[in-house]
Amino acid sequence: MTLLRQRMLEDMGVRNLAENTQSAYLQQIIAYAKHFHRRPEDLGPEEVRAYQVYLTKTRKLSPSSVSVATGALRFLYKVTLKRAWAVEEIPMPKRPFRLPVILSREEVMQFLNSVGNLKHRAILMTAYAAGLRISEATHVKVTDIDSQRMMLRVDQGKARKDRYVMLSPRLLEELRAYWRAVRPTLWLFPGDLPSKPITRSAVEQACQKAHRVSGIKKPITAHSLRHAFATHLLESGADVRTIQLLLGHRSLTTTSRYLKVATSTVCATTSPFDLLPKVEPPLQTPTPPTHH
């Protein structure tokens, strides 16, 4: 597998795939080869199909997890091994569409107030105030804060794209207080080693601890703050295109799902029934049926 692994890594590197994706794809191909105890180049469409059935029926993995394995197999056979059958024979599972659970503004405040650690509170505040993915929040550098233009630079977000987001005056105040206490130099939120940023798992653990303390019944992950950011912006009148740019979404379709959860906007819309003239009661009251 060594030569194939090297070649696949090079192919992913040339296409500038994110490090997380490269690592996930390699793990999936290793698991696939182990399952059959054979080299992937010696396997074909029948084995791919059997493996997808195994992941779905035996392992009972979610469509999202099967999608990662499918993406890895497609890349291996289509790009690295250049097999003509690759795309037709490796179907991508359809993922069910689920609306995210949205925290209200009051719940966001209640949650943030439940974070005891100064650094953890600062990073979760940043995730909400700027709508960042957790991988983006953990990689904010001290130099990414532009207080002159009131902007926060997101360096190499998803799909390796840079973008700018608003720097909230209130967040700037909080970050200045945090900086005075911690004095970070390179990474705004350093990990155990100052040369490395805080890990995603450390942020998620802090998030779960605060969730328990807050007593909020809704499920909360660090990503919930990004969902809340988008929904609260939409509810306060921001247009979808602006929110798309702030979130760094490639497609407007991805951002449009927030239209489905912006309940204070959507559900506050007047029903056409309320605009009808008053409906008169029926002239004859129906008599209840008699039972013999």
CA dist., res. 68 & res. 54, Å (int): 15
Could you tell me which of 205, 243, 197 has the C-alpha nearest to residue 221?
205
Angstrom distance (rounded) from CA 91 to CA 119: 44
Give the catalytic positions in this structure.
Answer: 133, 158, 223, 226, 249, 258
CA distance 19 to 23: 6
Type of residue found at 30: I
Cross-strand bridge partners of residue 278: none
Closest CA to 138 of 150, 152, 126, 151: 126
Residue by residue, DSSP assigns the chain as: -HHHHHHHHHHHHHTT--HHHHHHHHHHHHHHHHHHTS-GGG--HHHHHHHHHIIIIIS---HHHHHHHHHHHHIIIIIIS--TTHHHHSPPPPPPP-PPP---HHHHHHHHHT--SHHHHHHHHHHHHHT--HHHHHT-BGGGEETTTTEEEE-S-GGG--EEEE--HHHHHHHHHHHHHH--SSBSSB-SSTTSBPPHHHHHHHHHHHHHHHT--S---TTHHHHHHHHHHHHTT--HHHHHHHHT-S-HHHHHGGGGT-HHHHTTSPPGGGGSPPPPPPSSPPPPPP--
